[in-house]
Amino acid sequence: MDNMNKFAELGLSESSLLAISTKGFEEPSPIQKMTIPLLIQNEKDIVGQAQTGTGKTAAFGLPIMDMIVEGSGQVQALILTPTRELAIQVAEEMSSFRGGRKISVLPIYGGQSYNRQFSRLESGVEIIVGTPGRLIDHLKRGTLDLSHLKFMVLDEADEMLNMGFIDDVEFILSKTPAEKRFLLFSATMPKRIVQLAENFMSEYEVVKVDSTQLTVDLTDQIYFEVRASDKFEALCRIIDVEPEFYALVFCRTKLKVDHLANALLDRGNDAAALHGDVSQAQRERILDSFKRKRVNILVATDVAARGIDIDDLTHVLNYSIPQDPESYVHRIGRTGRAGKLGTAITFITPSEYRQLMQIQHFSNSEIRKETLPKIKDLIKIKRERIVAEIKEVIDQDDYHDNMHVANELLEGFPPDMIIAALLTHAYKDEFSTDRYTEITDPRSQRQSRSTRQNQPDDYSPDQEGITRLFIALGRKDDINAQKLVNFIRQEAMVDPNHIRNIQVFDNFSFANVPFQEAEHIINTFRGKGRDKKPLIVAAKPKNDNDEKSQRSAPPKRKQKTRRSKKR
């Protein structure tokens, strides 16, 4: 009752308190303590800065549920999210806040049947949670009426910006009534997001949750320094040594996600892969299996993991080190939730140590170094665990169905021989040292410096190959590296993390991307150059001498086009 009093003090209704009690919330999170009273007690708009896992949905969802008219059939709240997964997750969460009220919540996203959405909209809904593209479709078709809108919520605003949706967001906002409450939530506050708030909000309050709270309180942060080629073996050792491993494992690329998930399956783990190439129907099945713990390891890219909100994850594991400190905070914010302890593990190679220290400085937390368990220690732990499990069966008196088999065996063999044979029969592979390979010290002198530097990362596109792209744009076209990445991302909708080693010259540029993304990018830009010629093509193999000459004497546009045709 004391915990419910803490929520009641925020001004929530009895129906919301009932929903909170049903969900088992223990106490309000910082963002909830700050946002809920503001939303209930005054008429100002709100800008909230908080990372994933801070309870933002309840912060705006509970008071919105209290303040809309139930059963009206009119859209009174619109929640805009960057991804389908997050739209589904937020819609489910909002529905759980109803507390018996007749309030209809509808998720709207691409990949879902239009007819189903038309039918639901026509029958009347009070709250819509949607992604930009499909919402714009409905607005243009005239099938979505926002004239009665009271609340507009923009969730994960910085991710909208990163994914190139900011123009779509502004279009949707322009179609909403002037008289409404506007709530904007974002983990970071880049200038473009601040500008968006100033353009579409009148008077607003700013609430901010310090990122240091997100990473320190309930998340134990550790790292292991290993060679890139030993990462998979290191992961398997961690899985085997932990009594429970229910985890999100982050990789940087789609190819690496697929390779790692398949390798884990081959090893006998219940694993699944989630990334941008997975169909919507398959995504929903995978997430459902993960939530029900039919799958206990979900390997994902950062973008695909958006919207995954599971309170009892034991681990978040950075198989690939995040590109920036903000991504690290986002990732590990998915464990250590709802009052439960969680562990965040990061694998780094020696060359990534400085990057990890930058992350540690940003998060203002301690990321301590640990040593991987040795093979003999793993076997010992497994044996101890099996002994404990057998003792538990005996304590629970749950063995009588097999007593006749035991008595039959005892007639011919001594007890210790029988037990040893049964353990060998049931756990032979578990006790075999052949299951593991040795992990060498990543800084060992036994491995030459050149070998360490050229060692490819397991399950990375490097093993399959990298495509070097030639882009017919350069400094004379007002292009720099950041503009080039944004341009390719917006047109081809690829993860900007896949675009590497960018070099911009006067008349043209180069960039490296994995084969799979390269094919998509080339197809996207086919016929979009001058005279309908390819704007982006696969470059010839890199030649240092050629590149030096190109720096000193950049070719004319005409010469560059002829070279493109030869490719």
pLDDT per position as a tens digit, 328-359: 877 887 775 555 578 899 999 887 887 788 78
Q: Is there a domain that residue 293 lies in?
A: yes
Q: Is there a domain that residue 457 lies in?
A: no
The domain that holds 488 is classified in CATH as: 3.30.70.330
Identity of residue 250: F
Q: Is there a domain that residue 449 lies in?
A: no
CA separation, residue 325 to residues 146, 363, 364, 394 (Å): 38, 7, 11, 49
The domain that holds 141 is classified in CATH as: 3.40.50.300
- 546 pLDDT exceeds 80? no
Final residue of a structural domain among 317, 350, 372:
372
Are 240 and 185 part of one and the same domain? no
- Determine the average pLDDT of the residues in 524-546: 68
Are 355 and 431 part of one and the same domain? no
Q: Is there a domain that residue 447 lies in?
A: no
The more confidently predicted of residues 376 and 426 is 376
Kindly state the DSSP code that residue 420 receives in the 8-state scheme.
Answer: H
Q: Is there a domain that residue 539 lies in?
A: yes
Q: How confident is the model at residue 131 (pLDDT cuts 50, 70, 90)?
A: very high
CA nearest neighbour of 32 among 57, 66, 68: 57
- Distance, CA of 163 to CA of 320 (rounded, Å): 21
Final residue of a structural domain among 325, 351, 372:
372
Are 276 and 392 part of one and the same domain? no
Kindly state the DSSP code that residue 438 receives in the 8-state scheme.
Answer: -
The more confidently predicted of residues 560 and 425 is 425
Instruction: Return the bridge partners of 128, or none.
Output: 78, 106
- Distance, CA of 59 to CA of 197 (rounded, Å): 19
Q: What are phi and psi of 173, to 5 degrees?
A: -60, -35
What would the pLDDT profile of 468-507 be if each residue is shown by its tens digit?
Answer: 888 999 888 888 888 888 888 878 777 777 787 788 888 8
Cβ–Cβ contacts within 10 Å for residue 560, how many? 17
Final residue of a structural domain among 177, 209, 241:
209
How many structural domains does the chain have? 4
Q: Which residue has the tokens 């309870």?
A: 55
Instruction: Name the residue range of residue 429's domain.
Output: 376-435
pTM of structure: 0.48
Are 275 and 339 part of one and the same domain? yes
Identity of residue 53: G
Are 290 and 349 part of one and the same domain? yes
Are 520 and 557 part of one and the same domain? yes
- Distance, CA of 4 to CA of 268 (rounded, Å): 44
- Taking CA 160 as the corner, what is the angle to CA 113 and CA 310, rounded to the nearest 5 degrees? 70
